[in-house]
Amino acid sequence: MVSGPSLDETAYVREGATQTAVKILVVGHFAVGKTTFIGAISEIQPLSTEETMTRAAESVDDLKGVQGKTTTTVAMDFGRLTISDRVVLYLFGTPGQQRFVQMWEDMARGALGALVLVDPERLADSFAVIDLIEQYGLDYAIAVNHFDGAPPRDVTALREALDLLDDTPVVTCDARDEKSSAQALITLVRHLQDRAH
């Protein structure tokens, strides 16, 4: 058995920084881009539990509107982003399939808020996700993942279609792009700060 390098309690904290760890969930329906989002923005090698999809999964997971997807998250994704010398975000990506929802409650414990990734072509798939986040009492922001070839969407129309409160932030992002993803997280953090005051 080969063992990896040992990690002490400072392994995930930037050297010399006094930081507050903030747990953030990155949630969304199946195949919306959560793993891609965390992979694009994490300053450490992200932990990913992606597995190859099997034929058995095809009868359980709705692959409508999802072309070329061959892997899926079966437990969680994890990444880290330091946004200042005082604040570091620990990002926990949830699996998107309904059959993994029982894991969400455990992952929601201790979370300060959630970034909900949404595919504008599959808005109805987001309703159950938003309901769960509200059930857990988490404040959240919506990040509309812009997929290749998708026409731009009107934020007001999206807000109305998702039946959001007026103060719920809605931003457009590209989950593959580090800067775009960072801006979505910054929007969420500012929202959480405003709610705390």
Whole-number Å distance between alpha carbons of 33 and 20: 27
The pLDDT value given to residue 55: 58
One-character DSSP codes across the chain: --------TTTTS-TT---EEEEEEEEESTTSSHHHHHHHH-SSPPEEEEEE--HHHHTTS--TT--S--EEEEEEEEEEEE-SSSEEEEEEEPP-SGGGTHHHHHHHTT--EEEEEE-GGGGGGGHHHHHHHHHTT-EEEEEEE--TTPPP--HHHHHHHTT--TTS-EEEE-TT-HHHHHHHHHHHHHHHHHHH-
The pLDDT value given to residue 22: 92
Report whether pLDDT(90) > 60.
yes
Report whether pLDDT(14) > 70.
no
- Contact between 160 and 130 under an 8 Å Cβ cutoff? The reply is no
The pLDDT value given to residue 139: 97
55-85 confidence digits (pLDDT tens): 555 555 555 655 555 555 545 799 999 988 8
Q: Which of the 8 DSSP states describes residue 68?
A: S
The pLDDT value given to residue 148: 73
CATH homologous superfamily, domain 20-196? P-loop containing nucleotide triphosphate hydrolases (3.40.50.300)
- Residue 128 phi/psi, 5° resolution? -65, -35
The pLDDT value given to residue 3: 39
The pLDDT value given to residue 85: 83
Q: List the chain domain ranges.
A: 20-196
pTM above 0.85, yes or no: no
Report whether pLDDT(11) > 50.
no
Mean pLDDT value of segment 83-111:
81
Going by pLDDT thresholds of 50, 70 and 90, the confidence category of residue 38 is very high
